[in-house]
Each structure stands twice: as structure tokens, then as C-alpha cells.
């Protein structure tokens, strides 16, 4: 089925957050900190207030009222302490965007700066062990004796991998329009990956009961995690609207998005792998070093995929965090799995070479019977099937493993493989289904369609549950007034919302008029299983021996991700994730400014995401799984697994092409040239 909202999207009628026609709207534009640490001495708004069209200046000089519960990145203008360069320290409200922006440049902020520390290092004295890592997982795990396993190994690989700061960069900037009504009820059009959670957090920050806040996000121009919780623009719009008594629009610039809407933490990852003469792992250790801000603890689960991938008698994983004078990292597509599997799957390739084994066979001999760290059975796992199917399609048996020997003119050619995985979870959700007077069916759930095709997938699911034609089903989502639902995130959206939609439709079928569902109890009763999707990524690259340029001539992903609800949407999701993985492998990198704090390369001309010319032969296929333990659809989430393993597959292919192992992303011409020529 083609996307239900396809027509409004191609005709320019789909309404994104900044685009609602609201009468009397004015504009807010933020002022950002120019120091990385210290205190605000004074905010001088006199000149700005005298400029044309200016209605108000908000700052910590006169902190707008927020709930005591407001903290961290959303506690705007409450404190005079500066936590990072780029933090919002004031904002101008004016009649037009141009006037607001010009006046924001005229706000004078005086600071008492302190020395800052913005550099992640594996030997940083501030490293500590957080209580848990996201989402509430153990920080460290240990099973068996890693040192003994390494000592007994026939082959040992000890390597350190590093990944840079990465930014989600959805095409739609973070934006909000806030309107207060006469009864003090707040309506926010926001760029939210989940309106229920967004409403709850905004209500908490503003000190309002949740039923006095409504968040609407009918169309969201991508998020990839960065719109998973409210970002400062939503709070800013609400505060500004309250201050001037008019609806306010706050849209972040692309540059501001780099500063205040989250990013993927940089990582340093140390891995130690030992294998016996047959390639069976004798020990596996993965330690991740990463950063958070002084405002909030965000502990990415980087080493957690290593807990579930391969059989080994000795397994240790650990995370260490340091709080720096930086913005708070946040979710970015496959948090944990994307950087963690880059390191693990690159190290597995190194182990295969060190042991003289085919990298696919190495993975096959280390296939576990149960989840290695927990001992739980898998609800389903078909990594081997994915590897085998990919090998067949990629003609892997014809591959000469020798690195650095294939040439096409100046271009060195190589291929690589990596495994992929992502948890298959679901969260409690509500939904409502009713028979309309015209005989069609209305399905309501506060889900979000951030480009995943949620409207379309839920229509398919509801039509299937009701046993009717999809044309007769109308799905409403993107509004916190609808039945409460979790965010589009963690590859849990469709599984969570779909479960509730199926149950509501089942009840409607027996009731005849209406069905309402809440899956909280159902999910609490789920049996104990290790639930994950798996996949195999194959890459072919060409590396210029003259320039060090790397071009990806072919990418293939094979996934085992439960029952695929909509093949067209699924293929798009997988390929989209793989394309982002290509960016991670070869070009994406935000630099931290050691001297002044904050980030450098804060725009799309400097932070490169793949362009059309980079994406040539990219294909995704899947092995349909029947997994009855997951949810009524038998589905696993597919939004994130596409990015997992891609960078490793490309990095492994670069090694195969050139004979040089580059262990810091992105793999740029500079690094290739300095290592090789």
C-alpha cells in the first residue's frame, strides 16, 4: 500500500509544526551562550528592546516561572550558571522573524567565565560508573574469566575504536508554536516523536496538570531520536507566548539544532577478543568510554549489543562516563547499537583475519544457543540465515580474502561484512477503534509518523484485525488528546501501537460499536525471552589510491526482523538506515571546539550527510520470521537495525580494499592518505 499521507506530502499540503496558520502569531529567537562554563553576570536587553517590533526579552534577569521539577536542558533561563557553549541564555520575542533575529544579536550578555573541559579521553580522571545505562540496563556485566580466556586463546585481538560526535540532523528543524487559551490551557504544535510523552514532560516542566496541555504533531519531518522528548524550542514557545500574551512560534536554526537538540556521544571503545584454534571465542570484553553534560546524565548503552551477540565462556562489558562542559547527548538512531556494533563487528573482522578464518564462518561458529549474558532463550534469531542469504547474493564464495590486491585503474576494490542487531521490544499503549456512522472504521492512537509510515502500517494492522479493506480504516495519530501511546523510538512504535490497535479492533469486533485497549497488563505478562532482530550487512567499496576517496559501490542488508507488515515501507526504512550508516562510516563528524567549547561544523555544508550521488546500489531484503512471542503482529521494529553494522561492513571493506585498518570514524580521504600513501 502506498503511504496514506503521500498525496498531501507531494502537494505541499502536509502541515509540519511551524506551519499551522495561527492568528496573531509572533516569533521567538534564542540567544546562545558564548562561553562553555561560568556564570552570567548580566543580560542587557535595553538595545534589543528598543529595536523595531520587539515585544519582550526573556532571560535569567527575570526568570520566567517554571515548575520546581524543571531541570536540565528544559529549565530555560532559570539559572545563571552556563553549562556549555551554545546553551540558550535569553530569547527575543518580536513581530517578525527578521526583527526577532536582529534583536537577538543585540542582546548583550556579560559572563564570568571559568575554565572548561570539553574533551573525552579514556584516561579522563572524571570517568565514573553510572548506576545504569540506557534504558535502565546494567552498566557492567561479567561472566566467566576474561583474563583466563585470553590467556588460553590461540588468537587474541586487542583494539581500540573511536566514533565522533554525530548529529541526527532531521531535515525539519525543531519547531514549536505555542498558544495559551483564556482558561490557561496550552496547545503546542511541536516536532514530537510522541505527543503523549511530550505533553507529560511539558506539563511537568511548566507545572501544569497534564490535561491542560495538548501537543499536536500531525507530520514530523524526521527525528531519528532528536525529537524523542521535548527540546528547548517547545518550552521557549510556551514561555514566550505566556510572556507576550500571543501565540509564539519558535523555530531553531540548523546551527542551533547542533547545540541544543542532542547528539550521539563520541565513544572510545576498547575490545579484547580471544579465540581458540577453531575460531570459537574464549573471551570477549568490550569497554566503552563516553560523555554526558554537567546538566544531565545520559549514559549510552554502547557495549550492550556485545552481551547478546556471540557465544563465549568469558564475557565482560562495561561503560564509563565523564561529565564535561558540553551539551547533553541524546538518542540518535540505534543509540548504543550503532557505535557499539561498529566496534564489535570491526573487531570480529580483525579476529577473522588474525585467525585466518572467513568472517562469516567466524560468526557462524560463535552462534549462541541462548543469549550469552542472560542465558535466556531467543524468541527468534536468524543471524546465520541472514549471513548465508547475503553471502549468496553477494557471491561471497568467490571472494579472495587477501587485502589490498584488487585494482580497477586507480581504484582499490574490497568487500566487507558485519552483523547487525537491535532489540525487539514493545511498550504499553492505548488505542480506540470505533465504527463510524458511514460504516467505516476510525482508529485512534497518539502514535507519531516521523516518516516511518506509521499511519499506513497501523491502517494495515487494523484492517487485518477487523477483516476489512484498508480503504475502510481511518487512523488518527499525532495528537496527545488521542489515547496515550509511547514514542516513535527504540524501534518500538509499531509493535507498541499495533498491539493496542489489534486489541481495540478485536474488542470492536465483539462489541460492534467501539473497542478500547490498554496493553499494560498484556505486556507485563509477556514471557521471558531474549527479543532481538538480527541482520547482516554487506558492502563493496572503491578506494582511490590517488585521493583516498571512498565510494560505496554496493550495500546489501539482509534482515530477520519478524513478520514484515508492509514490504514497501520496510524496504524504505532499512535502506534509509543503511544510508545513514554510510554517512556514519565515511563523512559524518561534528568537531568539539577545544578552545572555546561548543561544536564546530554546525551546518549542512560542513557536517556532511550522504547526498544522492553517494547512494548507488543499496538494497535491503529480509527473511520472514514467524515469532509468536513478540506481539499480535509477530513483528520486530525495523527503524534502527538498518544503521547497525553498516559502518563496520564499510570499514571492513576498506580494509579488504587497502590492507589498512582505520579505527576512527569517519573514514575520510585524510585518514586513508595519512595511513597509506
Partner 1 sequence: MEITLQVNGKARTVDVDPRISLLDLLRERLGLIGAKKGCDHGQCGACTVLLDGRRALSCLALAVAVEGRAVTTVEGLASGDDLHPLQAAFIEHDAFQCGYCTPGQLCSAAGMLDEPGPSAVTEDLRTDPGLTPDEIRERMSGNLCRCGAYVNIVSAISEVAR
Partner 2 sequence: MKTFDYARADSAAEAVRDHAPGTMYLGGGTNLVDLMRLGVAEPDRLVDVSRLPLDRIEQAGDRVRIGATVRNSDLAADPGIRARYPMLARAVLTGASGQVRNVATVAGNLLQRTRCAYFQDVTRPCNKRRPGSGCPAIAGDHTNLAIMGASEACVATHPSDMAVALTALGAEVHVTGTGGDRVIPMPGLHRLPGDEPERDTVLEPGELIVAVELPPPPPGAMVYRKVRERASFAFALVSIAAALDVGADGTVAGCRIALGGLAHVPWRAERAEQALLGGPATGEAFLRAAEAELEQASPLPRNAYKVPLTRNLIVSTLEGLAS
- Which residues participate in catalysis according to the annotation? 640
Q: Element (H or E) spanning 321, and its range?
A: strand 315-324
Stretches 8-16, 153-161, 416-424, 431-439: which one binds partner 1 (CB under 8 A)? 8-16
Binding residue for partner 2, selected from 39, 101, 185, 554, defined by CB under 8 A: 101
Q: Residue 563, interface with partner 2 (CB under 8 A)? A: no
Judged by CB under 8 A, the chain residues 160 through 179 that form the site for partner 1 are: 169-173
Residue from the set 70, 154, 384, 609 that interacts with partner 1 by CB under 8 A:
609
Q: Which of 579, 635, 652, 668 binds partner 1 (CB under 8 A)?
A: 579
CA-to-CA distance for 516 and 524, rounded, in angstroms?
18
3-state SS of 490-542 is CCCHHHHHHHHHHHHHHHHHHHCCEEEEECHHHHHCCCCCEEEEEEEEEEEEE
Tell me if 506 sits within 8 A of 514, measured CB to CB.
Answer: no
| Shortest reach from residue 98's CB to partner 1, in Å | 4
Binding-residue pattern over the window 432 to 451 for partner 1, x denoting contact by CB under 8 A: ------------------xx
With beta carbons less than 8 A apart as the criterion, state whether 476 and 446 touch: no
Please report which residue ranges of 587-642 form alpha helices under DSSP H: none
CB nearer to partner 2: pick between 200 and 589: 589
**The one among 62, 98, 181, 410 contacting partner 1 by CB under 8 A:** 98
70 binds, among partner 2, partner 1, none (CB under 5 to 8 A by kind): none
Strand-pairing partners, residue 253, are none
Q: Which of residues 195-224 bind partner 1 (CB under 8 A)?
A: 219-222, 224
How far is residue 9's CA from residue 15's CA, in Å, rounded to a whole number?
9
Q: Would you state the cell numbers that stand for residue 315, as one nine-digit string?
A: 564475557
- DSSP per-residue codes, 545-581: TTT--EEEEEEEEEEE-BS-S-HHHHHHHHHHHHHHH
Stretch that binds partner 1, among 136-144, 405-413, 603-611, 648-656 (CB under 8 A): 603-611
Cβ proximity to partner 2: between 418 and 586 the closer is 586
* Residue span binding partner 2 (CB under 8 A) among the ranges 145-153, 333-341, 460-468, 598-606: 598-606
Pairing of strands 591-592, 599-600: antiparallel
Told to check if 587 binds partner 2 by CB under 8 A, we report yes
For position 39 contacting partner 2 by CB under 8 A, the verdict is no
606 binds partner 2 (CB under 8 A): yes
Span interacting with partner 2, options 166-174, 394-402, 527-535, 590-598, rule CB under 8 A = 590-598
With contacts defined by CB under 8 A, name the span among 33-41, 397-405, 419-427, 607-615 that binds partner 1.
607-615
Q: Compare residues 415 and 590 and give the one whose CB is closer to partner 2.
A: 590
Cα 212 versus chain centre, distance: 30
Q: Residue 613 interacts with partner 1 (CB under 8 A)?
A: yes
Closest CA to 282 of 319, 321, 310: 310
Q: Answer whether the bond into residue 378 is a cis peptide, omega within 30°.
A: no
CA trace torsion 647, 648, 650, 654 (10° rounding): 130
Cell numbers 514532560: residue: 201
Beta bridge partners of 157: 273
Record the cell numbers describing residue 634, joined without a space: 509477530
Let me know if 154 is exposed, middle or buried by CB neighbors in 10 A (0-12, 13-18, 19+): middle
Which span sits near partner 2 by CB under 8 A: 417-425, 566-574, 611-619, 625-633?
A: 611-619
Number of residues written out for the chain: 677
Given partner 2, partner 1, none, residue 591, with its beta carbon under 5 to 8 Å by kind, binds: partner 2
From the list partner 1, partner 2, none, partner contacted by residue 32 (C-beta under 5 to 8 A by kind) = partner 2
Q: Cβ contacts of residue 335 below 8 Å, gap of 6+?
A: 134, 225, 264, 300, 301
Q: Please give the distance of CA 594 from its chain centroid, rounded to a whole number.
A: 26
Site string for partner 1, 537-576 (x = CB under 8 A): -------------------------------xx-xxx-xx
- What are the residues binding partner 2 (CB under 8 A)? 32, 34, 98, 101-102, 105, 410, 545-551, 586-587, 591, 593-596, 600-603, 605-606, 608, 610-614, 666, 668-671, 673-674, 677
- What are the residues binding partner 1 (CB under 8 A)? 2-3, 5-7, 9-16, 18-19, 21, 96-98, 102, 169-173, 219-222, 224, 251, 253-254, 450-453, 568-569, 571-573, 575-580, 603-605, 609-613, 615-616, 618-619
Amino acid at each position: 500500500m502506498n503511504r496514506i499521507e503521500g498525496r498531501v506530502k507531494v502537494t505541499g499540503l502536509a502541515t509540519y509544526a511551524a506551519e499551522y496558520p495561527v492568528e496573531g502569531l509572533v516569533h521567538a529567537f534564542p540567544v546562545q551562550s558564548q562561553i562553555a562554563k561560568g556564570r552570567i553576570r548580566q543580560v542587557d536587553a535595553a538595545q534589543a528592546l528598543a529595536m523595531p517590533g520587539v515585544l519582550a526579552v526573556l532571560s535569567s534577569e527575570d526568570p520566567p516561572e517554571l515548575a520546581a521539577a524543571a531541570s536540565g536542558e528544559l529549565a530555560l533561563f532559570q539559572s545563571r550558571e552556563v553549562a556549555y557553549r551554545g546553551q540558550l541564555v535569553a530569547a527575543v520575542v518580536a513581530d517578525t522573524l527578521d526583527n526577532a533575529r536582529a534583536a537577538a544579536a543585540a542582546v548583550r550578555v556579560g559572563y564570568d567565565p571559568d575554565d572548561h573541559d570539553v574533551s573525552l579521553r579514556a584516561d579522563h580522571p572524571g570517568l565514573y560508573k553510572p548506576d545504569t545505562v540506557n534504558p535502565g540496563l546494567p552498566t557492567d556485566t561479567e561472566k566467566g574469566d576474561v583474563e583466563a580466556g585470553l590467556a588460553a586463546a590461540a588468537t587474541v585481538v586487542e583494539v581500540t575504536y573511536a566514533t565522533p560526535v554525530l548529529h541526527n540532523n532531521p531535515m525539519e528543524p525543531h519547531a514549536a508554536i505555542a498558544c495559551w487559551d483564556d482558561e490557561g490551557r496550552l496547545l503546542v504544535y511541536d516536532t514530537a516523536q510522541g505527543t503523549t510523552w511530550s505533553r507529560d514532560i511539558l506539563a511537568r516542566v511548566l507545572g501544569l496538570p497534564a490535561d491542560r496541555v495538548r501537543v499536536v504533531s500531525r507530520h514530523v519531518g524526521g527525528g531519528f531520536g532528536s525529537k524523542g522528548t521535548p527540546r528547548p524550542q517547545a518550552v521557549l514557545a510556551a514561555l514566550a507566548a505566556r510572556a507576550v500574551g500571543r501565540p509564539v512560534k519558535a523555530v531553531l536554526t540548523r546551527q542551533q539544532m547542533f547545540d541544543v537538540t542532542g547528539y550521539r556521544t563520541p565513544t572510545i571503545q576498547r575490545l579484547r577478543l580471544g579465540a581458540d584454534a577453531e575460531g570459537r571465542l574464549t573471551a570477549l570484553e568490550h569497554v566503552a568510554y563516553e560523555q554526558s553534560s554537567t546538566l544531565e546524565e545520559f549514559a549510552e548503552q554502547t557495549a550492550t549489543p556485545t552481551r547478546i551477540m556471540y557465544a563465549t565462556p568469558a564475557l565482560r562489558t562495561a561503560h564509563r562516563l565523564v561529565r564535561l562542559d558540553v551539551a547533553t547527548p541524546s538518542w540518535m538512531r540505534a543509540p548504543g547499537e550503532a557505535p557499539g556494533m561498529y566496534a564489535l563487528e570491526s573487531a570480529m573482522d580483525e579476529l577473522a583475519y588474525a585467525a585466518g578464518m572467513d568472517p562469516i564462518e567466524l560468526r557462524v561458529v560463535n552462534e549462541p544457543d541462548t543469549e550469552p549474558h542472560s542465558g535466556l532463550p531467543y524468541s527468534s534469531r536468524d543471524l546465520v540465515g541472514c549471513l548465508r542469504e547475503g553471502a549468496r547474493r553477494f557471491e561471497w564464495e568467490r571472494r579472495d580474502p587477501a587485502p589490498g590486491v584488487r585494482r580497477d585503474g586507480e581504484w582499490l576494490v574490497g568487500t566487507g561484512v558485519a552483523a547487525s542487531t537491535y532489540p525487539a521490544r514493545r511498550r504499553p499503549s492505548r488505542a480506540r477503534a470505533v465504527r463510524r456512522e458511514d460504516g467505516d472504521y476510525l482508529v485512534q492512537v497518539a502514535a507519531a509518523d516521523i516518516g516511518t509510515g506509521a499511519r499506513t502500517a497501523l491502517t494495515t494492522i487494523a484492517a487485518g484485525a477487523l477483516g476489512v479493506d484498508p480503504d475502510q480504516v481511518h487512523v488518527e495519530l499525532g495528537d496527545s488528546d488521542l489515547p496515550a501511546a509511547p514514542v516513535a523510538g527504540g524501534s518500538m512504535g509499531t509493535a507498541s501501537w499495533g498491539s493496542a490497535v489489534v486489541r481495540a479492533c478485536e474488542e470492536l469486533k465483539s462489541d460492534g460499536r467501539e473497542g478500547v485497549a490498554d496493553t499494560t497488563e498484556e505486556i507485563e505478562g509477556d514471557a521471558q525471552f531474549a527479543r532481538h532482530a538480527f541482520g547482516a550487512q554487506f558492502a563493496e567499496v572503491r578506494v582511490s589510491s590517488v585521493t583516498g576517496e571512498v565510494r560505496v559501490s554496493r550495500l546489501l542488508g539482509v534482515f530477520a526482523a519478524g513478520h514484515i507488515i508492509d514490504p514497501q515501507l520496510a524496504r524504505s526504512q532499512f535502506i534509509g538506515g543503511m544510508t545513514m550508516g554510510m554517512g556514519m562510516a565515511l563523512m559524518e563528524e561534528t568537531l568539539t571546539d577545544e578552545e572555546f567549547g561548543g561544536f564546530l561544523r554546525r551546518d549542512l555544508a560542513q557536517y556532511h550527510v550522504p547526498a544522492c550521488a553517494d547512494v548507488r546500489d543499496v538494497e535491503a531484503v529480509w527473511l520472514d520470521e514467524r515469532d509468536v512471542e513478540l506481539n499480535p503482529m509477530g513483528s520486530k521494529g525495523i527503524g534502527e537495525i538498518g544503521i547497525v553494522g553498516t559502518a563496520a561492513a564499510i570499514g571492513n571493506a576498506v580494509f579488504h580494499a587497502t590492507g589498512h585498518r582505520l579505527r576512527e570514524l569517519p573514514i575520510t580521504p585524510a585518514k586513508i592518505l595519512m595511513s597509506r600513501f
